[in-house]
Amino acid sequence: MKIAPGTVAAIAMEIMGKSADGTEKVFQKRDEQHPFYFLVGQTDMIPMLEDALLGLSTTDAFDVDVAMNQAYGPHRAEQMSDLPIDIFSLPDGSFDSAHVSPGKWLNLEDEQGHSHRAKVVSVGDATVRMDFNHPLAGYDLRCSGVVVDVRVATPDERAHGHVHGPGGVHHH
């Protein structure tokens, strides 16, 4: 079976990022025993990567360069924010230093109850500097790997717009 809209593809993939200053970093590595599953045509998969995967079958390899502007765009200074330190307090009022330290990722909820992933940049006396940029922002990407499996999406998966595990078994 070929990867097409309405299928679920399992892919082993490594994403390499290269920033403007030449720094290279491996962001995501999923091997063939632990592939990445996605519902083709209904995910937040990078469109250019998804296009490159269309038509491939199990055991086909891929190697796709995705420029920054086709991926997650530049790293934006306005996506950095200084938040009051008291929102990071534990119930007893002390600062949550175990979870809030430079380099750690946190899920923060806004007034509407939406969750946003952000990285701790630095901790000051009154504020914590957070970076709300996507982790892949500011990088040209190279996505390479192999197709592990392709199957037809179940009706539930199509209705929900997401994958229900390797065999389409409902998980929630």
- Which residues of the chain form contacts with Zn ion (CB under 5 A)? 160
What's the rounded Cα separation, in Å, for the pair 57 and 9? 9
Closer by beta carbon to Zn ion, 129 or else 160: 160
Using CB atoms, what's the residue nearest to Zn ion? 160
- For 75: left if phi > 0, alpha if psi spans -120 to 50, otherwise beta; the answer is beta
Please state the closest distance from residue 169 (CB atom) to Zn ion, in A.
11
Q: Tell me whether residue 69 or residue 115 sits nearer to Zn ion (CB atom).
A: 115
Residue 94 vs 115, nearer CB to Zn ion: 115
111 within 8 A of 59, measured Cβ to Cβ: no
What is the nearest approach in angstroms of Zn ion to the Cβ of residue 138? 32
Q: Is 41 left (phi over 0), alpha (psi -120 to 50) or beta?
A: left
Q: Tell me the two tokens of residue 19.
A: 């920033």
CB-nearer residue toward Zn ion: 75 or 160? 160
**Smallest distance, Å, CB 36 to Zn ion?**
17
Whole-number minimum distance, CB 171 to Zn ion, in Å? 7
By CB neighbour count within 10 A (0-12 exposed, 13-18 middle, 19+ buried), where does 22 fall? Answer: exposed
CB of 163 to Zn ion, least distance (A): 8
The H or E element spanning position 155 is helix 155-160
- Output 77 or 169, the one with its CB closest to Zn ion: 169
